Structure formats: structure tokens, C-alpha cells
Structure 1
Amino acid sequence: MRNLQRGQAIVEFAIVLPLFLLLVFAIFFIGMMMVDYLTLSSLARSSARDAAVIRVEDYKKYKYQEIRSKYENNKLPIDIFEWNPKTSKEDFKITYEKNSQNVKVEMKAALNTDGYALAKVVDNLAGSKMKKIKINVTYNMYSENKLE
């Protein structure tokens, strides 16, 4: 009778282990995605603050180019998402809205399925639907100076 119970425990373990590992893997992967999201959000907030306090003379001369160059060299720590502000102007935009006198910072990043091994594994498991996962961070801040 004891041998049958031992066999039952091994079968239960074999059924539960893959589900448990999948759950742990999913928690780990989502945590890594959140690190990249929080880093991008922090960069957006910092660049919006710098853009909100820019002097009128500097705005007319550079149009936020100094701020862009200051923050575009930053990298995402885990690199689950691909953020290339130097090659793509859509990944990092700073605009001034005349009507509301707000500075708007937009940052976008797509899932890096080409370069990161863990992202490739998840992409293969999900059936290539992971490419649709993107981060879009928009940060608005009231400008201290009327720029236009």
C-alpha cells in the first residue's frame, strides 16, 4: 500500500511542478518588465522637469535639444524593452503646448525580442504575440516660462 502512495506523490509532483515553475517564471519576467517601465517613467519625469524650467532664450536657441541629449544616452537596466532615442525620434519626444502652457514628454519602447534571450523564450512560448507589448509613458508638466 505504501508503494502506491509513493507513486501517487511522484505523479502529483510531476503535474504541479511545471505549473509552479511557469508561475515563478512569469512573476520574474513581469518584475523585469516593471524595472524597465519604472526607469523609463523616471527619465520622462526628469526630462519634463528640466523642460519645464528651461529659459526662454535656451528654448528659442535649442528647442529642447540639450535636454534630449542629456537623457538619450541612458539605458534601460534590464533591457527587456528596446529604447533607442538616438535612432528613432518617436521613442523620445518633448513638445510645448501653447494653449495649456504644458511641457509634454512622450517615451515609447517596444519589447526587445531580438537581443535578449529571456524575451526570445517568452516570445516563442507566446507564439510571437509578445511584439505587441510596448511601453508608452507620457508626462505633462506646467512650464514656468511662457515659451511661445
Structure 2
Amino acid sequence: MKKQGGQDIVEFALMIPLFLLFIFTIMYFGFLYGDYITLSSLARSAAREAAIEGESIPDESKNDPNAQPSYQNLEDRYDAIIREKGITTHLYEYQGISISKTGDKTSDGIPANSVVVEIKTVRNKDFGVANALEELGIKLLPQYTIEYYMYNENGTKSNS
């Protein structure tokens, strides 16, 4: 019996790498899910605001008589929120937001007369947990894009 005293330590040494891998994988997917939910919520808010407010003349073009209305002011506002507030874990780097109209005739199940918000991200190569998981052979998403559609009840409303 006394000769088996080191058995617990050996079993612990053999199991701790698997346990840590399991914990880090859970952390990675938790971070990914949290960021996805946060950015999806922002995309929904931006789409709702775009559908309600409509397009406007961008701030930098207010004095230009030929300026075309767009969603640039809204894009700039949400871009600043995402970049400056630190609302994501930086597991994926935020690449940008775009807001546009879908038009009156669409295909592939995309709703007509709607506003679409698209947020793009790419995996942060400096995030240690993700790099460790990839080195262990676990395939991770290289990037993801969030698209959110909202029906534009105002049709072609434009604010100047």
C-alpha cells in the first residue's frame, strides 16, 4: 500500500492538461458567444434606428448641394460605440459596420424594402487562448459577419 503513494500525483499530472484544455475551450466559446450577442444587439439597434430615421446627409457634406443622403452618420456613431467603449473581449477584431437598403426586389429570402446592417470581424491573432487551441488542432472561426435586416416602414423617407 505505501508504494502507491505517488499514484495520485502521476494521475493528476496526466489529467491536468486535458482539464485545462477543456476549461480554455469553454472560455473561448463563452467569449465568442458573448461578443456575438453584443454585436448582434448593436446590429439590431442600428437597423431599427436606420429604418425609423431613414437616410440623412453626412455631416461632412452638409454644405454640398449635390450630397446624397446615406446612413453614414449612423454608421459613424455605431462605429465609435463599438471601437471606443470596449464592449467586446477582443477575441475577434471589429472590422467595420455598413448600413444600406436592400431595394424593392430581392432574392434568396432577403426582405424587400428593408435596411441591412452588416458587422464584420476577424480573429485576433494575438489572443493567447485562441492560439493555444489552434496549436492543439482545434479549428477556430477565422472571421464572422453579422447581418441584420429590418423592414423599413418609412419606405424612402429621407431626413436632410
Bin the TM-score by the shorter chain.
Answer: 0.7 to 0.9
Distance 1:48 1:16 in 2: 48
Provide closer, same or farther for how the CA distance between residues 117 and 24 of structure 1 changes in structure 2, counting only shifts above 3 A. Answer: closer
Q: CA RMSD in A?
A: 2.4
TM-score (structure 1 length as normaliser): 0.78
| Cross-structure match for 2:76 | 69
Q: Deviation above 6 Å: which 4+ runs of structure 1?
A: none
Following TM superposition, by how much is the alpha carbon of 1:144 offset from its aligned partner in structure 2, in angstroms? 1.8
| Cross-structure match for 2:90 | 79
| Cross-structure match for 1:143 | 152
Higher helix share: 1
TM-score (structure 2 length as normaliser): 0.73
Q: Give the fraction of aligned pairs with identical amino acids, expressed as a percent.
A: 35
Task: State whether residues 52 and 152 of structure 2, in contact with CA within 8 Å, keep that contact through their aligned partners in structure 1.
Answer: yes
Provide closer, same or farther for how the CA distance between residues 55 and 134 of structure 1 changes in structure 2, counting only shifts above 3 A. Answer: closer
Unpaired runs of 5+ in structure 1? 86-91
Supply the AA of the counterpart residue of 1:64: Y
Distance 1:119 1:17 in 2: 19
The 5 A counterparts of 1:1-148 are 1-4=1-4, 6-55=5-54, 58=56, 61-73=68-80, 74-75=82-83, 76-85=87-96, 92-99=97-104, 100-113=112-125, 115-126=126-137, 130=140, 132-147=141-156
Distance 1:7 1:110 in 2: 46
